[in-house]
Structure 1
Amino acid sequence: MPTPRVLMSKIRQALQLLAGDAGLSLRQVAAALGVSKTTISEIALYARDAGVDWPLASTLSDDELQARLYPPPRPRSTTRAEPDYAALHQELKRPGVTLQLLWEEYRAGVGQQAYRYSAYCEKYRAWAKRLKRSMRQVHPGGERLFVDYAGQTVPVVDAATGEIRRAQVFVAVLGASNYTYACATWQQKAADWVGAIIDTLAFIGGVPRLLVPDQPRALIANPDAYEPATARLMQELAEHYAVAVLPARPGRPQDKAKVEVGVQVVERWILARLRNRRFFSLAELNRAIAQLLADLNQRPFKKLPGCRAQAFAALDAPALKPLPATAMVLAQFKPARVNIDYHVAFEGHYYSVPHQHVGAAVELRITASTLEVLLRRQRVAAHARSAKAGGFTTVAEHMPVSHRAQAQWTPTKLISWGERIGAATAGVVRWQMAHRAHPEQGYRSCLGLMRLAREYGNERLEAACARAQSIRAPHYRSVKSILACGLDRQGSSLLGGDVGTTAPMPAHDNVRGPGYYGHH
């Protein structure tokens, strides 16, 4: 390295003393000039190599002397081969690929022109910093699917009424390729979220290892930065598709930067292009989104090679897990308890459960066509849904053996109880037995009549049953309402005769007749 100009005077003095007749040693010259012996030794070495003695040095200017003693270093004859940083960035997204591996491949290709590993890493990181935050994140192929809803909504007009409804726009982005999916839903409820995610998995044709949503209440039962608990429908999705749910931490946008940028891209390249169009159905809007989505995934990247579709085919698609044989069917969940007649109720219809579970707290899983009964997450009964209010769906195997074989003694016992109260009560009990596919299904109403007898007394129950028959409403609810309103005490004139006189039973094809139970 050249000696600073301020020392040039000492260099001249050193050369003069070393060449003088006195024949001073290096140590003596160093002591005379107040510098180290090493410095004097270096000056003598440089002068000898440059062929400069004191007589010559005395004729040179300071710049000329410095140029002779300390010439500038020669430039290296070889140049370094610059890596393809964009291709390197994409390669890092492949499972198992590291910077060390890529550097070794780079060095094998360019030989002596390769950067050292440390310089290679520094140059790549400096290049990556110039990318957008979302693009410089490196996620292995097939690892993460980020999902969110856009802030913008799209108006949809009801063609019949002219009413405008705002559709929500769902966005999903794969971490490695930025491959994007979008669709419109009416709301952001659990069924909307899960339904859109199911459509996304069908669109990409596979299942990632991690699903990264935000923490909306529709999906996360207990939002938390460290241990968020997913809601019931989201749990079912995770189990059905064998995917782990890793919600982004609240207030940490870096956890979901991919989808945040994906939302911006969808708003700019899809929703902005649809701003002047009018839509009259959600299906029409989704068809328009799908057309523009195909174009979006084919648009070339600005700073990376290829486009989203090409990156998806190379990075994410090969690493996705296969879809299950059937898509998940959306369901709602409702708590229930198995009644004494081994049935559960939903929307006024009754569905049977194996009789040994009477009294158990269960969970109903309801889809558009089925109702399942779950006990500690295990299915114990499944039925086709029925819209018949007051009806029963009963599986024979769910009934006790005694009921399946010959259980007429139970209705007979109930009728005998009614006869001890009075003719009207017995008539109402017989009506319950006669209007059920299985007589045992009348238990619920008859047990209710027994409770009314304990609450209001036998005499009032008999009067209420007589009134219920007179108005052709021999139902438990009617009898209960009559007692609650005190209508059983309003006298026989309102009934058109004596309280104990029963009106004819209503005609019906299912009525078995008065002699039916006498023979059983």
Structure 2
Amino acid sequence: MSKVKQILQQIDHGLSQREISRRLCIDRKTVALYLQKMKLLSLTTQQILSLSDIEAEALFKADVSIVDDKEEYKYLESLFPYFKKEIKQHRVTKLTLWQEYRSKSPDGYSYSQMCHHYYQWLKRDSVSMHMEHEYGEELYIDFTGRKISYYNTLLKRTVKEEVLVCMLGGSNYFYVEAMHSQKMEDYISGVSNAINFFGGVPRTLILDNLKSGVILASKYQATINDSFLSMANHYGAIVDPTRPYSPKDKSLVEAAVNLTYNRVFSPLRNSSFDSITRLNEAIKELVIKANSINFQGRDYSRKELFEKYEKQTLKPITMGPYE
């Protein structure tokens, strides 16, 4: 049995580092290093003990970089879409996938190196998923299903307001505003404020809530409300009233709405303000914070994608705010 497995078996039986060192006649620092390495690998002792001796030793061997071997990296990278599918659909572990990879490429990357390159690939793949919605192309506009409540100190009662969410499709950078109603004046003002918040104009405004921006002329044709069209023309944006949200669009908008519930509604649920203006000031601060939070499982945020990729693709606001 390999030294690695001997150490791990003793660990599995609950022996101390000192006792393992004494029994196997190895330095305590060596035992500590194996423990540290196991934590970094995010593997259990049983997972490692199930490997062959050669595979177990390879896991703990000092990583030897083969980054310069372009063919080997190219081969490994070609496996990543398969890895992603197997992990997601069949709950296959990365360890099993590494074993399969090493069986075909015995001198290939170590387990930790493979994981590192896989995670780097996932980041790039995630950014490319955002690119399915081209930067600067679309602004999704919708109301939340719930109203936001706050205690109005002047009226001395709880007030409920509508909430508009506007989200850029490329970066998912979003804007939120409370308003008295879904009527045309409030709706146009909110969308105009969103465009000014972004500091630029997307090519297309996608409307899912037809009541505010669109007059439904018939079952087959939607006509844009003249006032809304005037606002869009002012900014030089196209309005698409007929295209329904695709499932991907809907999931993006729903994510922004859920984020609004979690990051805006929840913190403000017991708040008091003397006006909707003060409420919106608080909302804006929370939205700025929410845009700066990293996507789940990623090391970048909506704000970073917006600043790095989308902001430069927006058309400039040449005529000032719409009034």
* TM-score, structure 1 as length reference: 0.38
Query: In structure 2, what is the equivalent of residue 206 of structure 1?
Result: 200
Structure 1 residue aligned with 2:135, among 126, 132, 141? 141
Residue 239 of structure 1 pairs with residue 199 of structure 2: no
Structure 2 residue aligned with 1:115, among 58, 75, 78? 75
Amino acid at match of 2:308: A
Kindly indicate which of the two structures has a greater share of residues assigned to helix.
Answer: 2
On the 8 A contact 1:224/1:249 being kept in 2, the answer is no
Structure 1 residue aligned with 2:298, among 293, 301, 304? 304
Which structure 2 residue ranges, 5 or more long, are not aligned?
1-54, 56-66, 92-121
Amino acid at match of 2:133: H
Post-superposition shift, 1:318? 1.3
How far does the alpha carbon of each residue in 1:278-312 deviate from its partner, in whole angstroms, 9 at most, with x for none?
A: 22210110111111112111112222331111111
Query: In structure 1, what is the equivalent of residue 314 of structure 2?
Result: 320
Structure 2 residue aligned with 1:162, among 156, 159, 175? 156
Which structure 1 residue ranges, 5 or more long, are not aligned?
1-74, 76-106, 330-520
Query: In structure 1, what is the equivalent of residue 182 of structure 2?
Result: 188
- CA change 1:187–1:224 in 2 (3 A) is same
Q: Secondary structure of the residue that 2:144 maps to in structure 1?
A: strand
Tell me, in whole angstroms, the C-alpha distance in 1 between the residues paired with 2:222 and 2:321.
26
- CA change 1:157–1:143 in 2 (3 A) is same
Q: Secondary structure of the residue that 1:274 maps to in structure 2?
A: coil
Please show how residues 400-439 of structure 1 align to structure 2 within 5 Å: none
On the 8 A contact 1:156/1:282 being kept in 2, the answer is no
The alignment's C-alpha RMSD in Å is 3.4
On the 8 A contact 1:225/1:249 being kept in 2, the answer is no
Tell me, in whole angstroms, the C-alpha distance in 2 between the residues paired with 1:299 and 1:186.
29
- CA change 1:223–1:261 in 2 (3 A) is farther
On the 8 A contact 1:158/1:280 being kept in 2, the answer is yes
Amino acid at match of 1:221: I
Tell me, in whole angstroms, the C-alpha distance in 2 between the residues paired with 1:204 and 1:302.
23
How far does the alpha carbon of each residue in 1:363-384 deviate from its partner, in whole angstroms, 9 at most, with x for none?
A: xxxxxxxxxxxxxxxxxxxxxx
Post-superposition shift, 1:203? 0.6
Please show how residues 83-482 of structure 1 align to structure 2 within 5 Å: 110-115=70-75, 122=82, 138-222=132-216, 227-247=221-241, 249=243, 253-329=247-323
Give % identity. 28
Tell me, in whole angstroms, the C-alpha distance in 1 between the residues paired with 2:245 and 2:239.
18
Tell me, in whole angstroms, the C-alpha distance in 2 between the residues paired with 1:168 and 1:108.
57
Post-superposition shift, 1:121? 5.3
Larger RCO: Structure 1 or Structure 2 (Cα < 8 Å, ≥ 6 residues apart)?
Answer: 2
Q: Secondary structure of the residue that 1:218 maps to in structure 2?
A: helix
Tell me, in whole angstroms, the C-alpha distance in 1 between the residues paired with 2:69 and 2:173.
31
Amino acid at match of 1:280: D
How far does the alpha carbon of each residue in 1:212-247 deviate from its partner, in whole angstroms, 9 at most, with x for none?
A: 121322211127786422111111122111111224
Tell me, in whole angstroms, the C-alpha distance in 2 between the residues paired with 1:127 and 1:143.
32
- The number of equivalent residue pairs is 222
